[in-house]
Amino acid sequence: MKKIGWMVTLAALGIAAHAANLLENPGFEWETGERDWSIQWGNACREAWNDPPEGGHAMYIGGSWRGQDNGGLIQAVPVEGGKQYLLKGLFYCDNNWKARDKMLKLEFLDSAGEVLKTYTDDLKGLKNERWVKRDIAGKAPENAVRAQVVVEASGVAADGVLGIDDLVLEPVGGPGR
């Protein structure tokens, strides 16, 4: 009986831990679309390459060999103003992928869609052919109602890809922290 109780408790903790992620389709395991990564541009694509750490797919921003020198994706979710949030994910590059500008962003917006505050990571120092964890923490302004998670690159060189997988956006601590 104790064994079953522990299994139920562990399962519940796993569900609670997973439920904290505000993002839909964080590992890109199903086709992206209207309810999750609805804004994609340039040479961003969902693929099953390079042994993604979470599931069988990841999102990739390819080199200009894909026909463009830019790419990105955005997902917007409701948030609570005044609360601290953590954005984290895994990133990968291969064949010496390079871009003039590359960025992971956490943006907080008001009810009119105006950007109130932006936190960024320039994704410098990624390791070739190795998935690397990156994260950003930021406090939503009091009048924030939505957050946008943005991964983008411009001035992309010819070779390789930038991989994105297992993105998580979660509140940190209690109210107002």
**Residue pLDDT, tens place only, 56-107:** 999 999 999 999 999 999 999 999 999 999 999 999 999 989 999 999 999 9
Residue 13: is its pLDDT beyond 50? no
Q: How far is CA 88 from the centre of its chain?
A: 7
Domain assignment present for 129? yes
pTM given for the model: 0.85
Amino acid symbol at 145 = V
* pLDDT value for 10: 43
pLDDT the model gives residue 35:
87
Is 29 within a domain? yes
Q: Are 81 and 54 in contact (CB under 8 A)?
A: no
For 162, half-sphere exposure in the C-beta direction (CA atoms, 13 angstrom radius) is 33
Domain membership flag for residue 177:
no
Q: By residue range, what is the domain housing residue 50?
A: 2-172
- Asked whether the predicted pLDDT for residue 154 surpasses 90, the reply is yes
Tell me if 24 is assigned to some domain. yes
- pLDDT for 19 equals 56
**CATH number, domain containing residue 152:** 2.60.120.260
| Residue 139 contacts residue 56 (beta carbons within 8 Å) | no
Structure tokens at 124: 């410098």
169 has a pLDDT exceeding 70: yes
- pLDDT for 174 equals 54
Cα torsion 146, 88, 58, 102: sign = positive
The verdict on residue 41 lying in a domain is yes
Tell me whether residue 109 is in a domain. yes
Domain presence at residue 13: yes
Overall domain count for the chain: 1
Residue 115 lies in a domain: yes
Q: How far apart are the first and last CA of the chain?
A: 39
Question: What's the CA gap between 42 and 62, in Å, rounded?
Answer: 9
Q: Rounded to an integer, what is the distance from CA 55 to the centroid of its chain?
A: 15
